Amino acid sequence: MKHKFFKDKVIIVTGASSGIGLATANLFATMEAKVVMAARSIDKLEAIKAEMPVPANVLCVKTDVTIEDDCKHLVQQTIDKFGRIDILINNAGISMRATFQELDLNVIRRLMDTNFWGTVYCTKYALPYLLESKGSVVGVISTAGHIGLPGRTGYSASKFAIRGFLNTLRVEHRYDGLHVMVFAPGFTASNIRNVALLADGSPQGMTPRNEEKMMSADKVAKRMAYGLRLRKNEMILTPMGKMTKFFNFALPKFVEWVEYKMMAKEPESPIRKK
């Protein structure tokens, strides 16, 4: 029955060439959904499509979510191919690792363009079809969308913005049947930290964290499917994320102290140890 819920549903996944996006696209393909995979690398998407259970049910669209016309094209290609949209998963995103004092402001612009504006553009053009299907729109954030992470100013700002945007969208359409879910997976084993931007905008190149101890992208995808079936407003996947959100209301200064200590312990952390 769980699998049948997604059968023949048309699902757009941005950032679908790796990490959570790829795991999500693969999962929904096995559940017999019609999956639209969006990313900048069309060659990579086509190679992934060839390995899908039913390639005919998969559409690959070259999409740079920072470009409004690309997002509009993504939605139009989906409608031309499948005639409807049931679920939009705004997953495309990039991270960063530097203090604001040392940061080139173009890094924040790039994060806002990808993480926030990419979500806004795709949601704007998909919205009429989602309202028609009484479908779902998902925004992938993180704990950094609930608390400010030191050394991640642009990342936190973009994730806070996504959460504010989608929470407001939910209220605006509370009587229209639209489901809006803000999804915070926590630290996930993926390549997002490898390509995170440093102070000058160059990619980090390697992760400062032990990826083996993190939640797998496949497990995150399963939790997302669960949240979509139950039409949840918000999901915070990790116990640490849930505790952080709770204690941030009750003991904000304590949470700030813990955050600082944790982020300062990262190898080559931009945050000075105190």
Which are the catalytic amino acids?
155
Length of the chain: 274
- Alpha helices (H) along the chain: 2-6, 19-30, 42-50, 68-82, 105-111, 118-133, 153-172, 217-229, 239-250, 252-264
Q: What is the rounded CA–CA span in Å between residue 148 and residue 242?
A: 15
Contact 248, 147 (CB under 8 A): yes
Contact 142, 192 (CB under 8 A): no
Q: What is the rounded CA–CA span in Å between residue 94 and residue 76?
A: 25
Q: What is the rounded CA–CA span in Å between residue 179 and residue 12?
A: 15
Q: Is the dihedral of CA 157, 159, 164, 166 positive or negative?
A: positive
CB neighbourhood size of 128 (10 A):
11
**Encoded tokens for 267:** 């190898």
CB neighbourhood size of 157 (10 A):
19
Q: Looking at this protein, which amino acid is placed at residue 187? A: F
